[in-house]
Amino acid sequence: MCIGTIKGCEKKLIMSFLSLVVKNPFRNKTRSALAIVGISIGIIVIVALGMVTGGLENSTQSTLKAGAAEITVIQTGSSSFGSGGSLNESLASSLLNISGVKDTTGILRATNTSTTVSATTTNSSAGGFGAEGGVSITGIDASKLSLIGIDTVNGTEFTNTSTNQVIMGTTIAQSLNKTVGDTIDLYGKNFTITGTYETGNFITDAGIMMPLSTLQNLTNNPNKISDVLVKVTDNANVTTVSQSIENAYPNQLSTTTAADEANRINQGLSFINTASWAISLLAIFIGAVGVINTMIMSVYERTREIGVLKAVGWRDRRILGMILGESIVLTLLAFVIGTIVAVVGVELILTLSPSVGGIIKPSFAYDIFLRAFVVAFLVGVIGGLYPAYRASRLSPTEALRYE
């Protein structure tokens, strides 16, 4: 410890303008802390909403993944995510005859609402997919998994002839605390998890895949499918092929392209983004008013001191820089605190709430943090500019007379 002696205090003794700028804001700790809290709230909103919407955007991008089917064909009038079989299984091969279609596969979607999936977790919280919970199960040909976006499986794929094998998305696997080799109770029957997969699409990753025939038997939908996934040839136009399918089966089949789906989700995300910006701006505005107030008060209280600095030869520009710097120190500290709180908070919420965590994989893209940093910096500059200008324009004699 350095107790006022010259020797041994070398590091502590060196003073710079920067250290003065960093020290000054904390002369009135309570006031500075309140200003920091105000700005931090804005930063928390920007970072947290950025991480969440960024995560959802990433998931949307995954629906456009190369190799996966570009078109989903359903019966006209039914939901694209609806359960149960309404189409004949033979439709998948019939669609191969349409120009531009490279590959097809029929899938059957079902929701298992049994409550015996896990001892600790009910199906209603599993994966977060399916209205009011329930595990989303898809029956599909093992050789056509790439069409649904599953390129690699950790473990092994199920065999099409098996009646007790499934593969599971990583999100639901984590949520149910299951791993390869574990069993899961579906429709009152034990299934072995032969593998897990991760596509990046939060819907797919929150589901379970099993052989099509097995699911058809379990749900009493023999030879029935709910959707046909269509992969187009390399040079074909997705919209044209999609239109050709609808034209070939008028009033019977409807099509949805992955791009349409992504656009729909993006529209929703765009709304969330706009809302988050509006909330952020409001929070930032309140924070900026707090910073201006803090800095003006600080300049008032230090009027005499500013007079002394002018008397000892400090130029106006240096005084302006000092006050502006102090304001930026406050907001950058708010950036650091706000970012930490946002990251920890989002992770905590997603961990404590598996139903939400199953859907959202937060994004840590640098631009989210950069945006928050720029906002914090600008608030510091804007909030500090007027008080700094005021301080720099003070008359030395008047400042020195200030009581």
Q: Which is nearer to other proteins, 182 or 305 (CB)?
A: 305
Least distance from C-beta 66 to other proteins, angstroms? Answer: 58
Q: Write out the residues near other proteins by the rule CB under 8 A.
A: 2-6, 9, 12-17, 20, 23-24, 26-27, 304-305, 307-316, 318, 395-397, 400
Taking the least distance from each CB to other proteins, the nearer of 94 and 395 is: 395
Least gap, CB of 320 to other proteins (angstroms): 13
* Nearest residue to 113 via CA among 182, 172, 186: 186
Question: Which residue number, 3 or 119, has a Cβ lying nearer to other proteins?
Answer: 3
Query: Considering beta carbons, is residue 229 or 394 the nearer one to other proteins?
Result: 394
Phi, psi (rounded to 5 degrees) for 7: -70, 140
Distance in angstroms (rounded) separating the CA atoms of residues 103 and 384: 63
Q: At its nearest, how many Å lie between other proteins and the CB of residue 5?
A: 7
3-state helix, strand and coil shares in percent for the chain, rounded to the nearest 5: 55, 15, 30
Least distance (Å) between residue 336 CB and other proteins: 22
Structure tokens belonging to residue 37 = 């809290």
Q: Which is nearer to other proteins, 117 or 394 (CB)?
A: 394
DSSP secondary structure code for residue 133 in this structure: S
Q: How far is the CB of 312 from other proteins (least distance, A)?
A: 4
Residue 278 or residue 311: which is nearer to other proteins going by CB?
311
Nearer to other proteins, 279 or 400 (CB): 400
Structure tokens that stand for 393 in this block = 């324009």
Beta carbon of residue 324, minimum distance to other proteins (angstroms, whole number): 16
Per the document, the length of the chain is: 403
CB of 310 to other proteins, least distance (A): 7
By beta-carbon proximity to other proteins, the closer residue of 314 and 386 is 314
Name the phi and psi angles at 108, rounded to 5.
-120, 125
**Alpha-carbon gap, residue 315 to 298, rounded angstroms:** 19
Phi, psi at 302, each rounded to 5°: -105, 20
Query: Parallel, antiparallel, or unpaired: how do β-strands 135-139 and 207-210 relate?
Result: parallel
**126 DSSP 8-state letter:** S
Closest approach of Cβ 395 to other proteins, in Å?
Answer: 7
Do the Cβ atoms of 380 and 288 come closer than 8 Å? no
Task: State in angstroms the smallest separation of the CB of 39 from other proteins.
Answer: 22
Query: What is the token pair recorded at 114?
Result: 């049994």
Which is nearer to other proteins, 27 or 264 (by Cβ)? 27
Tally Cβ neighbours within 10 Å of residue 384.
30
Side-chain half-sphere CA neighbours of 275 within 13 A: 8
Residue with tokens 């093992």: 142
We find the least distance from the C-beta atom of residue 326 to other proteins, in angstroms, to be 12
Can you tell me the distance from the alpha carbon of 198 to that of 358, in angstroms, rounded to the nearest whole number?
12
253, 75 Cβ separation under 8 angstroms? yes
Q: Which is nearer to other proteins, 322 or 360 (CB)?
A: 322
Could you tell me the sign of the dihedral formed by the alpha carbons of 306, 307, 308, 309, in that order?
positive
The burial of 267, by beta-carbon neighbours within 10 Å (0-12 exposed, 13-18 middle, 19 or more buried), is given as: exposed
